[in-house]
Amino acid sequence: MIADRDSRDSSRACRQPSPCAKQESAERPPTAAASRRLFMCATLATCLGLPAVLPAAADENPESDKRPQPGDSFVFSEGDHEGNRITPADIPLGGPPILAWPFDPGAKVVRDGSRLNQVLLLRLDPAQFDEETLPRTADGIVAYSAICAHAGCPVTGWVEDQGRMVLKCFCHNSEYDPRKHAEVVNGPASRRLAALPVKIDRGELVVASKFIGSVVPQQQS
């Protein structure tokens, strides 16, 4: 009965109109806050075993649905700096990872129309990356999908496991090693997180090429 009540409450919350339709600055696009709420609704629905189908925002730009494109930069997807551009200096060495949305600098569009576009940005000592992972990094910064490959919950943990820090999804405790192409080190996930190659262009962190691997969770593919 509790799960049923939570499910109904989640569905009602996801159907509520967004109170954030007001115009904001170019650095904080109008769809960012609304998409974050939709992302949270989808996460709750996934963890309750419900279909993560969300309505499109009324003011959504079609470009916001597209997967990250080469040349995109990044913006914070939460916190006090939500919507602001991310510089390499914003990403601390050794973690924790930063949750980010890709940002099309030409169209001034945050690609937050799909929760599958959210990524984790993490900086580590370049010497820690294996030969497969290192070419996809920039100045020690690596980017992975923030969506767990198992059931689609958000990967939000940065925890110690057997003497090393790993990325963790708390829904079902899947863990991933960011030094080795986010290979699974624990939990029910049987597939790595999708990797997003990055580079530094004129001092700015940008997408180097499209996702390597699928961002669609195993239970939804």
* pLDDT score recorded for residue 219: 77
Within-domain flag for 40: no
Tell which residue, 131, 132, 175, has the closest CA to residue 153: 175
Within-domain flag for 177: yes
Q: Is the pLDDT at 46 greater than 90, yes or no? A: no
Q: How far apart are CA 83 and CA 122, in angstroms?
A: 18
- What share of the chain has pLDDT > 90, as a percent? 68
- What is the per-residue pLDDT across 83-116, written as a single tens digit (0 to 9) for each? 999 999 999 999 999 999 999 999 999 999 999 9
Within-domain flag for 117: yes
| Whether 83 contacts 110, CB under 8 Å | yes
Structural domain boundaries enclosing 132: 63-220
Cis peptide before 96 (omega within 30 of 0): yes
Within-domain flag for 151: yes
Q: Supply angle C-alpha 77, 81, 84, rounded to 5.
A: 75
- What is the per-residue pLDDT across 119-155, written as a single tens digit (0 to 9) for each? 999 999 999 999 999 999 999 999 999 999 999 999 9
* pLDDT score recorded for residue 218: 86
Within-domain flag for 216: yes
Total domains in the fold of the chain: 1
Q: How far apart are CA 39 and CA 90, in angstroms?
A: 23
Q: What is the pTM of this model?
A: 0.74
* pLDDT score recorded for residue 37: 52
* Residue whose token pair is 């709420």: 37
Within-domain flag for 41: no
* Domain CATH code at residue 99: 2.102.10.10
Within-domain flag for 183: yes
Within-domain flag for 51: no
- What share of the chain has pLDDT > 70, as a percent? 72
Among 32-46, 139-153, 207-221, the range of highest mean pLDDT? 139-153
